[in-house]
Amino acid sequence: MNYFIVDDDISVRAMLAEMIEDADLGTVAGERTDGREVDTALLEAHQVDILLIDLLMQERDGIETMREISGSYTGKTVMISQMESKDLIGEAYSLGIEYYITKPLNRIEVVNILKKVKERLVLERSIENIQQSLQAVTGKSAGTGSAAASRSIKEEGYKVLVELGMVGENGSRDLLDIIYYLDQNNMTGGEEITSLKNVYQKTAADKMKEGAKQPGLQREVKAAEQRVRRAVHQGISHIASVGLDDFSNPVFSKYASTFFDYEQVRKKMMELEKEKRYRIRVDTKKFIQMLYWEAKRRMQT
């Protein structure tokens, strides 16, 4: 993974490079002191995957630089600044940055954020490779045909789970199987999902070999319920962490009160901030409904 650092403070560039190398996150492919020295051609020449750029620089700031490379630079961007203006932060996110880190730099925060960005980039590229492979085999684009449509709800659901930091959880596979089942059976995610256990049973039966004995089927149903619950807990932890890093982060704004109970998200934020245990409840049914609807919405756009 190649990083490129743009900051007019040599000590900040040195600190970021040290953090990246010490955490074994990748290689610093280049550095610049001002945004005017940065364009898409330069980033492509250095094969930059993740750009770290300061907001305030003398000749061309981070916002103007993002406008310059917007639409042509295909990597990820993390912005760094001493300023905490909500207007500037919001503008930065509208131009496509992944995270906004405030100075002075905190090693734990920087490393954790860069790990998240790296993971998201790897997963997105994996999805692209899968889609290209499918297209090469079938001769069709991922958006055509009934078989492609049935695949796409899993693909779109997968992208949502990436944003929620849940893809590493075993329960993410169960969640994708569930929304696939709902889609295949023309369910709306509304009244038909009242009995969530029935949905678990149906997806478990599809997963296991035909003629599987009832005790084995019930064990798989229970295991799937536990995996999904753990995955949703991971999702609420991730969203709470994003909210603590940056309350105006669009991922936090989008998912905190739609996929979860916002009160529970706030409890999780206090738990992470104060290192004090709270009883966090998750509404698995609500989460599945929202995942289903969001994946369907993305299929249609």
pLDDT at 88: 79
Task: State the helix-helix crossing angle for 107-138 and 146-163, rounded to 10 degrees.
Answer: 170
Q: Between 66 and 94, where is the model more confident?
A: 66
pLDDT at 190: 46
Phi-psi domain of 245 (left: phi exceeds 0; alpha: psi -120 through 50; beta: other): alpha
Instruction: Dump pLDDT digits (tens) for 126-167.
Output: 777 666 665 655 455 544 444 444 447 888 888 899 889 887
CB contact set of 12 (below 8 Å; sequence gap of 6+)? 54, 80, 103, 105
pLDDT at 279: 87
Q: Between 281 and 300, where is the model more confident?
A: 281
Distance CA 284, CA 301 (A): 26
Confidence of residue 78 (pLDDT cuts 50, 70, 90): very high
Q: What is the CATH number of domain 2-115?
A: 3.40.50.2300
Q: Between 193 and 269, where is the model more confident?
A: 269
Distance CA 40, CA 38 (A): 7
Distance CA 280, CA 261 (A): 10
pLDDT at 52: 96
Instruction: Dump pLDDT digits (tens) for 248-273.
Output: 888 888 898 889 998 899 999 998 88
Q: Average pLDDT, whole number, for the chain?
A: 83
Mean pLDDT of the region 183-197: 63
217 pLDDT higher than 70: yes
27 pLDDT higher than 80: yes
Q: Domain extents for the chain?
A: 2-115, 140-299
187 pLDDT higher than 70: no
In the chain, the DSSP E strands lie at 2-6, 27-32, 50-54, 76-81, 99-102
86 pLDDT higher than 80: no
Q: Between 196 and 255, where is the model more confident?
A: 255
Query: Poorest-confidence range of 67-76, 179-188, 276-285?
Result: 179-188
The answer, as to whether pTM is greater than 0.85, is no
pLDDT at 253: 86
Q: Which of 280, 281, 236, 240 is nearest to 259 (CA)?
A: 236
Distance CA 234, CA 41 (A): 39
